[in-house]
Structure 1
């Protein structure tokens, strides 16, 4: 299985071009579109989202992860084996949180460059062929070298900011393991805890722990982003009470 995680969006041709490469190089592999609306140009937010999603996929699968504002520059390219799952993408911090949160992680630098490579589309030309080879079970050792650490490593702890806003207007944070009695405030608004949407009043804001274990801010049958003016990057204040 190859799992796609990008900021490419779905109305442009980029996802289709990547899938064409995967179909050529790994035609028997199932391709899953996990997310193509990761926050644009924001590998820090993407790193925390990717780490939260990873455990929902079986060991042995290969993630092709691309949020790559430095494409075409000397930034590195990496392969990570973490928690029995493979991750292929830019070495810009995007793979660093999942790498650090797992034990027995192994790292490689991608040294291979295809003969034809676009300076602006490494997702298609560089990362897709590597991910396809790994997914086929043909580890491309001749195209990689082992490394001890990634070039860019984000803090492995929680990210107390909004890291994603879904199409409902729910605001996901990078915060985990929050007790129900915690005080949660964002953009000057205090949110109360609720277990689920139907357990709070219509139009009422609340916070809950979502299906991938992250603190999420929502409005029942409404948009938290619109009601409270929330955006990716907004600080999330979580005060855990004794």
Structure 2
């Protein structure tokens, strides 16, 4: 299984081009669109989202992860094996939270370039063929050089910020394992804990631990982003009980 995780969006041709290359290089492999709305250019937010979402996929899954504002520059390109799964993408911190939280990890620098490599589309031309070889079970050893660690590593602890806003206007944060009696506030508003949306009145703000294990801010049958003016990067304050 090849899992796509990008900031490409779905209106443009980029995802289709990636899938066409995967169909060429790994015919018959299942390709799953996990997320193509990672906040634009935001490898930091993407790193925390990827770490939260990847654990729901079976061992052996190959993640093609591309949030790559430095494409075409000397930034590194890597393959990572962590937690029994593979991750292929830029060495810009995007894979670092997954790597840091895994008990077992191995890192390789991609030391190969195809004959045709568009300077602005390494996702299609560089990362997709490597991900395809791994998914086929054919180790691309001649194209990889093992290294001790990633070149760019973000802090793998919880991130007390909004990292993603879904189309409902719900705001995901980088916070995990928050107790239900904590006091949560953001953007000048205070949110009441509820296990799910229906536990508060229509139009009322709430926070809950979502299905990815992250603290999420929402409004019952409304948009937390619109009501509170929440944006990606906004700080979230959690006052834990004494």
User: What TM-score results when the alignment is normalised by the length of structure 1?
Assistant: 0.99
Other structure's SS at 1:22 match: helix
Structure 1: give runs of 5+ residues left out of the alignment: none
Other structure's SS at 2:78 match: strand
Q: Cα distance, 1:101 vs. partner?
A: 0.1
Cα distance in 1, alignment partners of residues 104 and 186 from structure 2? 36
Q: Deviations over 1:164-204 (max 9, x none)?
A: 00000000000000000111110111111011011110000
Other structure's SS at 1:19 match: helix
Structure 1 position 235 matched with structure 2 position 239:
no
Q: Deviations over 1:36-58 (max 9, x none)?
A: 00000000000000000011100
Runs of 4 or more, structure 1, over 6 Å off, are none
Residue 197 (structure 1) aligns with: 197
Other structure's SS at 2:153 match: coil
Cα distance in 2, alignment partners of residues 172 and 156 from structure 1? 17
Residue 153 (structure 1) aligns with: 153
Residue 226 (structure 1) aligns with: 226
Q: Cα distance, 1:239 vs. partner?
A: 1.4
Residue 110 (structure 1) aligns with: 110
Structure 2: give runs of 5+ residues left out of the alignment: none
CA RMSD for the aligned pairs?
0.5
Aligned residues: 242
Q: Cα distance, 1:19 vs. partner?
A: 0.2
Residue 38 (structure 1) aligns with: 38
Q: Cα distance, 1:240 vs. partner?
A: 1.1
Cα distance in 2, alignment partners of residues 179 and 104 from structure 1? 28
User: What TM-score results when the alignment is normalised by the length of structure 2?
Assistant: 0.99
Cα distance in 2, alignment partners of residues 173 and 104 from structure 1? 26
Other structure's SS at 2:207 match: strand
